[in-house]
Structure 1
Amino acid sequence: MTARIGGKVNSAEGRNRGTATLARVAVVVSSLLLTAAAPVGPAGSGTTAPPKPRYTFTKLVWSDEFNYTGLPDSTKWGYDVGGGGWGNQELQYYTKARRENARVEGGNLVVEARKEALVPENAYTSARLLSRGKGGSQTYGRFEVRARIPAGRGTWPAIWMLPDQNLYGNKSWPDNGEIDIMEHVGYDPNVIHASTHCKSYYFRTNNQKTGVTIVADATTAFHVYAIEWTPETITAEVDGQLYFAARNEGTGWQAWPWDKPFHVLLNVAVGGEWGGQKGIDEAAFPQQMLVDFVRIYQMKKN
């Protein structure tokens, strides 16, 4: 979860679940899609057989449906704790097992950012949950999160992924990769970002691979944010509509560190290099990200 440079966005009328037609940016080209060219039918038949998917993602191997009440399930979620800016000059202090910042109620996980100085150094509190070490890690697969994201200038919610272990380069970020399933900054409402970051392509060198789309009711309705990750590609979608893809160039870990287990993170940051670019509306807080479910599906090669 880091600062982003957005691309050109196109929007159109949404479908049944309030989804906007999804935009592509310059980094996404048709050759990045998963399916191979469709086989051609017999001569003169005038028919073309549908392409066979290279991979399927039907086996659910880990999930939290949040059908309980209280603190997030400790067998599935841990916490990153503290302040210090988190590498992005963020203003929140992340708490551990504190109901005001992370709780399950009404069938949803609530991640709440609040304007309060729990520690002198930070004027806001929030929570950052992660599935590492709790069975919620996997190499490749489909990762789905149904969520309603917060509004308010200065908010920076994220649904994203980091590696369980840092094995490459200098053993730190960005050498070992990051996958952003969904990011949103409150000063740019309903603009949804998906990105990948690695040593060769990341935001501080202004060449990260990023997709951008409009979801007209992202802050008032639930949507399913998902990625499908294979040895060849990482693609992102909203409500089943593809809008971002990144391809494995085959040039080594510097451009493709995504060959080892990654886990899921859920958080709402406040301010920061990206989220705070247009200031913070202090009157907007508290703000909540509601999560209906998190689901991880195993990849199967056909």
Structure 2
Amino acid sequence: MFAKRRAAALTAAGALALAGCGAAPDLGRAGPMGRAAALSGVTQALSGVTRTLSGGTQAAVSDGTQAAVVRGWGPVVAGDEFSYAGPPDRAKWKVYTGPGHAGKGIRSPNAFAVGGGVVTVSGDAAGTTGGMSARFAHQQYGRWETRMRTSARDMQYHPVILLWPNQNKSPTCAEIDYAEGTWDTTMIGFNLHHACSGPDFQSRDARAIDTTQWHNYAVEWTPAGITGYLDGSLWFADLNPAHQPTVGMHQTVQLDWFPNGTPTKPSQMQVDWIRVYK
């Protein structure tokens, strides 16, 4: 069993934060400049964490700049730190089995593997990939934050971290994609679906980032509206009451296949943790 997190006291002088995060060996780690920047000065108090790596040694790693810390969301009330090995925890996750997104490819439980403190979702050359939905925090309103990265993915594989309607029912086809990759692998998007069809069925924004590096994606859903955060900074807001989901929602993790008729390069996404706040 991996002992991933422990309490860490931050002194008045601050604490060192090592860039990056322990994970599967085929994904890139933060380069020398990234590590130097992290060591040269931390502009905000980051939570101290410890992970047992595959070599059996302990290494301090950074959780990055979090909206929960910047905005003072308080204690975590649900989620998964993925501090175990094997398949996703069945008490926390329902793993999909069957056709892929829009009937393309297959969603298989074998696409998931938890180890080294992360969950890895793999998509192969034939479109066999994975998706899972949370059994926790089925609620209306709340705050969710996820730390995620991808491999140098094929444009036909789209990673998505989203909130989906409970019981798969919503009269407005509500969907909150608070981190979604598309054909453009240099971009990540936030998409709020608030209608089932029409020219104005969603609100959206996007940013150019390197998704092969760890980033924190967060959504805050209150009666006042829906806001999104990228590494602690606001990057999306929709305060239109008519765009609010009218049903409870829950966390979903998917690596979706959008084939275009060309060969597909196997791709991965990894999630370090998912945390839900009141």
What is aligned with 1:211?
Answer: 205
Query: Which of 149, 153, 156 pairs up with 1:154?
Result: 156
Q: Once the two structures are aligned, what percentage of the paired residues are identical?
A: 31
Higher relative contact order (CA 8 A, sep 6+): 1
SS in 2 for 1:165: helix
Equivalent position amino acid for 1:79 in 2: V
Per-residue CA deviation, residues 273-298 of structure 1 (Å, 9 max, x unaligned), is: xxx4xx5442x21x110100000000
What is aligned with 2:122?
Answer: 112
Aligned residue pairs: how many? 211
Contact 2:194 2:244 in 1 (8 A): yes
What is aligned with 2:13?
Answer: none
Distance across 1 between alignment mates of 2:253 and 2:169: 23
Contact 1:156 1:183 in 2 (8 A): yes
Distance across 1 between alignment mates of 2:202 and 2:231: 24
What is aligned with 1:270?
Answer: 257
Query: Which of 211, 228, 233 pairs up with 1:236?
Result: 228
Contact 2:163 2:177 in 1 (8 A): yes
TM-score by length of 1: 0.64
Cα 1:189/1:167, change in 2 over 3 Å: closer
What is aligned with 1:128?
Answer: 131
Runs (4+) of structure 1 exceeding 6 A deviation are: none
Contact 2:193 2:201 in 1 (8 A): no
What is aligned with 1:119?
Answer: none
Cα 1:229/1:126, change in 2 over 3 Å: same
Query: Which of 185, 191, 196 pairs up with 1:195?
Result: 191
Distance across 1 between alignment mates of 2:162 and 2:170: 20
Residue 77 of structure 1: how far off its partner (Å):
0.5
Distance across 1 between alignment mates of 2:208 and 2:195: 28
Equivalent position amino acid for 1:77 in 2: W
What is aligned with 2:73?
Answer: 57
Contact 1:226 1:238 in 2 (8 A): yes
Residue 141 of structure 1: how far off its partner (Å):
1.5
Aligned CA-pair RMSD: 2.5
Segments of 5+ residues of structure 2 without an aligned counterpart are 1-33, 39-70
SS in 2 for 1:137: coil
Per-residue CA deviation, residues 120-170 of structure 1 (Å, 9 max, x unaligned), is: xxx321110100xx223222121011010242121111001111136654x
Contact 1:166 1:176 in 2 (8 A): no
Residue 196 of structure 1: how far off its partner (Å):
0.7
Q: In the alignment, is residue 182 of structure 1 matched against residue 179 of structure 2? A: yes
Equivalent position amino acid for 2:204 in 1: T
Segments of 5+ residues of structure 1 without an aligned counterpart are 1-13, 18-54, 116-122, 170-174
Cα 1:176/1:57, change in 2 over 3 Å: farther
What is aligned with 1:9?
Answer: none
